[in-house]
Amino acid sequence: MTTDATPRLRADARRNRDRIIAAARAVFTEHGTEVPMEEIARAAGVGIGTLYRRFPDRESLLGAIGRDAFQQVLDEARAIGDRESDPWRALCDFLLRAANLRTVVRFSMLSQRARAILAADPEVEQAREELLTILDGMVRAAQANGSMRPDVSGGDLGMILSIVLQGVHIAPDDVRPDASARYLTLMLDGLQARPGTPLPGRPVTIADIALARHNAPAADEQTV
């Protein structure tokens, strides 16, 4: 009896966790990260006791949302690299999947506390660094086979991605669901290797982004 029940309990606990995170992501995005925890429990369809057993405070819930979002995009990035042999298609697929980080970016814009929690989480930071490394490798591969303009870098794309994800929340309600994909597609068209306007300045490197994140005041730290 105990042996049969244990996997079921674990499955139920996992489902509750996933429901709470999904509900919190939706409610926090719509109403801000200071919504009462009771509202999260109601939206998830669980009791407040169940919520607090999984997440004893708001900080642990925000951290879990951030870790889940980055891990999902990181898993997808690895899978794209494994299955896609064409560097340009791999890069396009990666950037469109990375739009799933818009929730994390939105939290960072809404709440200084959420921004600090995510910035201090070592799992989030590790996933962010690996994502930027993967992105840089995809950019170099696309440039090496001639499909991408040579005067940009992975750091440039990381900056553009952050700008897009920060801006889509102001789009009209009926536009917002597709806004990230729409503007990233426009951006990607401008990155293809073909005659274009020379870019001012120099490319932003991955090291530049890391240095900026290290030196930025907490209130300004919004880069993916």
If we measure between CA atoms, which residue out of 66, 68, 202, 203 comes closest to residue 135?
203
If we measure between CA atoms, which residue out of 212, 189, 191 comes closest to residue 138?
191
How far is residue 131's CA from residue 133's CA, in Å, rounded to a whole number? 5
| Higher-pLDDT residue of 215, 91 | 91
Cα angle value 215/217/222 (rounded, 5°): 95
pLDDT computed for residue 6 by the predictor = 57
Both tokens of 119, joined, read 């910035």
**Domain boundaries 58-220, corresponding CATH code:** 1.10.357.10
pLDDT computed for residue 94 by the predictor = 94
Segments in 47-197 forming alpha helices (H): 48-54, 58-83, 87-98, 102-110, 112-120, 122-144, 154-167, 176-191
Domains of the chain, residue spans: 1-56, 58-220
pLDDT computed for residue 152 by the predictor = 92
CATH architecture of 1-56: Orthogonal Bundle (1.10)
| Higher-pLDDT residue of 221, 212 | 212
Both tokens of 25, joined, read 């992501």
How far apart, in Å, are the Cα atoms of 136 and each of 27, 98, 141?
34, 14, 9
For residues 29-49, give the mean pLDDT. Answer: 93
Q: List, for residues 151-162, the tens digit of each pLDDT value.
A: 999 999 988 998
Statement: residue 31 has pLDDT above 70: yes
Both tokens of 5, joined, read 């029940």
Residue 87, Cβ density class (10 Å: 0-12 exposed, 13-18 middle, ≥19 buried): buried
How far is residue 220's CA from residue 112's CA, in Å, rounded to a whole number? 9
| Higher-pLDDT residue of 215, 202 | 202
167-171, 193-197, 215-219: which range is least confident on average? 215-219
Other C-beta atoms closer than 10 Å to the C-beta of 164 total 23
- 200-205: long-range contacts at Cβ-Cβ below 8 A with a sequence spacing of 24 or more? 203/151, 203/152, 203/153, 203/155, 203/156, 204/153, 204/155, 204/156, 204/158, 204/159, 205/153, 205/154, 205/155
What does pTM read for this prediction? Answer: 0.80
Statement: residue 13 has pLDDT above 90: no
For residues 161-165, give the mean pLDDT. Answer: 88
pLDDT band (50, 70, 90) for residue 224? low
How far apart, in Å, are the Cα atoms of 107 and each of 29, 62, 147?
7, 9, 35
pLDDT band (50, 70, 90) for residue 47? very high
pLDDT band (50, 70, 90) for residue 9? low
pLDDT band (50, 70, 90) for residue 221? very low
Q: List, for residues 117-148, the tens digit of each pLDDT value.
A: 988 999 999 999 999 999 999 999 999 999 99
